Amino acid sequence: MEVVLNSKFYVTTPIYYVNDKPHIGHAYTTIISDTLARYHSLCGDEVFFLTGTDEHGQKIEQSAKKNNENPSEYVDKVASKFKDMWDSFNISYDKFIRTSEVEHKNSVKNAFIKMFNKGDIYKGEYEGNYCISCESFVMNAILCPDCGKELVKLKEESYFFKLSAYEDRLLKFYDENPNFILPTYRKKEVINFIKNGLEDLSITRTSFKWGVEIPNEVAQMSDKEHVVYVWLDALMNYLSALGYENNLESKMEFFPPDIQLVGKDILKFHAIYWPAFLMSLDLPLPKHIAAHGWWTKDGAKMSKSIGNVVNPSEVVSEFGLDVFRYFLLREVPFGQDGDFSQRAIVERSNADLSNVLGNLLNRLLGMGEKYFDNNLDSLSFASAYEVELKEVEDSINIAREYIFKVELHNYLESIWRIFDLANLTITKKEPWKLIKENKYNEVAELLVFISNTLIKGAYMLYPCMPASAKKILSVFSLGDDGFGRFVVNKEILTSVKLNHIPPLFPRLEVKEEIKQEIKSEAKLEPLSIENVIDRDYFMNIDIKVGTIIEVEVLPKSEKLLKLRVDLGETRPRQIIAGIKLYYEPQELIGMQVCVLANLKPAKLMGEISEGMILAVKDDSGLSVITPHKVAQNGSKIS
């Protein structure tokens, strides 16, 4: 991807639904957005960073009633939890929007009028299945494919947006903008969804009152019982926050957004509905929609009923904000699911922050004080460390490319390469021996090189760990305004005065319950294993990764789907799979699956099946087993 900095940068989180307090998923999205905003601010861009809360809908109305509150009181209380948390986390947002604000409602109404006048909105009747939890209509299913909850039957008058009219324009846009969705491998599922045919979208409801009333300005739409349905209401926040068609001071010069962060569960709404709405309004489309994965806890899906939902404030209270930020950004490749555990955050912090970065700074401060009374000078260090300095600059350039792809795990890994290089250089040079040989000039060259490495690394680290980066820079009497000097212009210092600070990343203590967990792993009790097979038998089992490219419903079967799966062979495999009750055909297309490839072909419902899709089933339903990251079709699982 070409790295281009604009004079303005607009980044958004999704607006968070105020049916509960913020959790680790909310914090993850917000911290990624904050990192991008801080990076672009360092680069000299004028940044507008938007976050906020989605406060309308049937679920909110019901939750307020359960709490014996009116919806307005209820959303005020819950929205404040989000804002208070982001403020305590020092999130650098420019606006916290609430969809209950008058200005937002005005934007929604005026956009509604424009779409109606253009002929993109019409009145009809909706009849079908609806998920109250996800606030979405679901076709041809008993359970919601997103949350697994039961659907309710709805039949009501509704206004519809002509989504079907935008199929061709959307596909053309994707073809012309291959990096619109990040990670790019998620693009295929969106394109396949569109190619399966878009149905017009219900955008008003009459079964609840807590929402934006449709505008009176158009006579045909004086239906007071209608309120604007969640996605037209919610998605318009990215415009209303900038003053679109409302009384706020206009900041529309920031539009369109450069990067919009979303969870993978709401990618469809942002990658299909949102662009279609903008096309209807004759507005430019976002440059990138970046979809991240989900977090589990100790390998299990987070659930209030189980009681394993991670409270970000509790984690920060125990480990510190910057350690929490580093863990979230570094632990998981962007787009993939991650697992949170106390043990994982302790191990990551001790291995990377304490052993590498903290140790490097401590070594510099210790030798600087012991050998040079904290005053370092070396006019010759740049020539002595020409090769190493080039490695530092190369790693920085690579890191800067990664951040534009929202690959923050790779961004941090590239920064850590320069810290590893600095530590390795100390080990190779053995300055304690050089001092004994009175080679003070060589040691001074080394320590000035280490100082410059830490300075450049700290500026690169600042967007991810601002407080820690400031502490590192304070060692060299530098502020957070030197990114242009030391990173962009590649300036180096030949003279450094060191200021001592307390140890930056003391090793975290492993809690007693984690110690017991580790001990139990070291001393495993023998298990009684049924149907034991030996290694030779296992080696005869051929399990491969493949991509589902076509799905066909078998009309005579309630459970079976006919799949065509690309295993990297001369033609796709035809596989009959009993997953119809758990997956919609369109959501399977583009999915990578694990296939038992050397299973003897069999005939099911008159169709040949040339393998078996592997899946797991428990009380929550059935899930197809997929690789943790995209693999080449035909790759063997071993």
Looking at the DSSP assignment, which residues form a beta bridge with residue 297?
300, 340
Q: Are 261 and 13 in contact (CB under 8 A)?
A: yes
Same-domain check for residues 452 and 541:
no
Give the pLDDT score at 315. Answer: 94
Instruction: Identify the residue with better confidence: 61 or 113.
Output: 113
Same-domain check for residues 491 and 553:
no
How much is the pTM? 0.78
Instruction: Kindly report, residue by residue over 358-384, the tens digit of the pLDDT.
Output: 999 999 999 999 999 999 999 999 999
- Whether cis (ω within 30° of 0) applies to the bond prior to 256 is yes
Residue 311 has pLDDT above 60, yes or no: yes
Q: At what angle do helices 312-319 and 24-42 cross, to 10 degrees?
A: 60
Buried/exposed 274-300: b ≥16 CB within 10 Å, e otherwise? bbbbbbbbeeebbebbbbbbbbbbeee
Measured in Å, how far apart are the chain's first and last C-alpha atoms? 34
Same-domain check for residues 463 and 560:
no
Instruction: Identify the residue with better confidence: 569 or 325.
Output: 325
Instruction: Indicate the range of 136-145, 191-200, 453-462, 527-536 predicted with least confidence.
Output: 527-536
Residue 406 has pLDDT above 90, yes or no: yes
Give the integer Cα–Cα distance in Å for 356 and 354. 6
Tell me whether residue 332 is in a domain. Answer: no
Give the integer Cα–Cα distance in Å for 348 and 330. 9
Same-domain check for residues 387 and 482:
yes
- Domain boundary pick from 472, 497, 522: 497
State whether residue 259 is helix, strand or coil: strand
Same-domain check for residues 477 and 563:
no
Instruction: Kindly report, residue by residue over 548-563, the tens digit of the pLDDT.
Output: 988 998 888 888 999 9
> Given pLDDT bands bounded at 50, 70 and 90, which one contains residue 521?
very low
The tokens 């017991």 sit on which residue? 516
Give the pLDDT score at 452. Answer: 97
Tell me whether residue 40 is in a domain. Answer: no
Residue 193 has pLDDT above 80, yes or no: yes
> Given pLDDT bands bounded at 50, 70 and 90, which one contains residue 1?
very low
Residue 54 has pLDDT above 70, yes or no: yes
- Domain boundary pick from 467, 497, 527: 497
Q: Say which CATH number the domain at 628 has.
A: 2.40.50.140
Q: Which amino acid, one-letter code, is at 319?
A: F
Same-domain check for residues 484 and 548:
no
Residue 516 has pLDDT above 60, yes or no: no
Q: Which of 115-119, 202-206, 208-212 tops mean pLDDT?
A: 115-119
Mean pLDDT, the chain, integer: 89
Q: Say which CATH number the domain at 458 has.
A: 1.10.730.10
Tell me whether residue 482 is in a domain. Answer: yes
> Given pLDDT bands bounded at 50, 70 and 90, which one contains residue 139?
low
Structure tokens at 520: 């139990």
Same-domain check for residues 345 and 487:
yes
Give the pLDDT score at 214. Answer: 84
Same-domain check for residues 474 and 595:
no
What are the residues whose beta carbons fall under 8 Å from the beta carbon of 622, sequence distance 6 or more? Answer: 579, 581, 582, 615, 616
Tell me whether residue 109 is in a domain. Answer: no
Residue 505 φ/ψ, nearest 5 degrees? -130, 75
Same-domain check for residues 463 and 373:
yes
> Given pLDDT bands bounded at 50, 70 and 90, which one contains residue 66?
confident
Mean pLDDT (whole number) for 154-158: 81
Residue 187 has pLDDT above 80, yes or no: yes
Residue 587 has pLDDT above 60, yes or no: yes
Mean pLDDT (whole number) for 285-299: 91
Tell me whether residue 551 is in a domain. Answer: yes
Give the integer Cα–Cα distance in Å for 403 and 39. 9
- The answer to whether the annotation marks 144 as part of a ligand binding site is yes
Tell me whether residue 3 is in a domain. Answer: no
- The answer to whether the annotation marks 594 as part of a ligand binding site is no
Quote the domain boundaries for residue 604.
535-637
Tell me whether residue 489 is in a domain. Answer: yes
Instruction: Identify the residue with better confidence: 97 or 220.
Output: 97
- Domain boundary pick from 497, 516, 546: 497
Give the pLDDT score at 152. Answer: 83
Tell me whether residue 445 is in a domain. Answer: yes
Residue 565 has pLDDT above 80, yes or no: yes
Burial zone of 433 (CB within 10 Å; 0-12 exposed, 13-18 middle, 19+ buried): exposed
State whether residue 96 is helix, strand or coil: strand
Same-domain check for residues 368 and 430:
yes
Q: How many domains does the chain have?
A: 2
Same-domain check for residues 478 and 378:
yes
Same-domain check for residues 473 and 610:
no
State whether residue 563 is helix, strand or coil: strand
Question: What percent of the chain is modeled with pLDDT above 70?
Answer: 92
Q: Which amino acid, one-letter code, is at 443?
A: V
Structure tokens at 595: 């296939």
Give the pLDDT score at 162. Answer: 96
